[in-house]
Amino acid sequence: MFGNPVGSSRQKVFPLLNIDSYILGLWSADGYLRSSSFGLTSIYPILIDRFRAFLRLYFDNSRIKVRKYLPMKDFYQYDFAKNPKVYLLKKAKHPAYQIYVNCRPFIRAFFNEDLQKRSVLQNTQAYFAGRFDGDGSVSKNLKNDFRIAYTTFEDAQRDQKYVNILSSTITSSIYHYEHAKTFVLYIHTDASHEFLRLIEPYSAKAQKLLVAP
């Protein structure tokens, strides 16, 4: 295991990380970063478990923190003897989970631009699977409104270039929703099913959609 708790006087440096392409996509969609905290928030336990497996490559369980947030209707009925780290999230409609570690050296290692780019290029399918699982959606017919949301145009434009690497036959467009302050990468209708098939081996969401009746 590597890294030091926040505030430690001994500064260890992480070796070059093996940044899992799926995890990079998932974190880019649903992850968060504080001054010393790196983590993921999701309503899907399966995504939390996959993120935990990645963190376990570098930290023991005592360093990995997990919080659970409940909507008001569930919070006051919860048995806190099972898990005292449960918090109220008034506006939530579903339980949510937050998993994180506090380690500045790890954060510095993870945000190596060359490593991140190499990770995407090594497995572009897995990267987009993580992006789709974290912040993607598609209509029930699996053709219309295939979208992945972004907070900046630069991120959306970069991923549009990666779409061309994923497949030269998949076309896409970027739309800006000014009121929502969101940029959306749309996969065109005639290519959305191909996109789903490409990311299916890695995407929990795509696997569920493609087997649904």
- CATH for 123-211 (3.40.47.40, 3.10.28.10, 2.30.30.50, 3.40.50.11720): 3.10.28.10
Determine the Cα–Cα distance for residues 6 and 136; give it in Å rounded to an integer.
Answer: 34
- The length of the chain in residues reads 213
The pTM score is: 0.86
Determine the Cα–Cα distance for residues 117 and 114; give it in Å rounded to an integer.
Answer: 5
Other CB atoms within 10 A of residue 153 CB: 11
Show me where the domains of the chain are located: 21-113, 123-211
CATH number of the 21-113 domain: 3.10.28
Per-residue pLDDT of the chain (213 residues; tens, 9 = 90+): 434 444 443 445 676 788 999 999 999 999 988 888 999 999 999 999 999 999 999 999 999 999 888 876 766 676 666 666 777 776 767 888 999 999 999 999 999 999 999 999 999 999 999 999 999 999 999 989 999 999 999 999 999 999 999 999 999 999 999 888 899 999 999 999 999 999 999 999 999 988 765
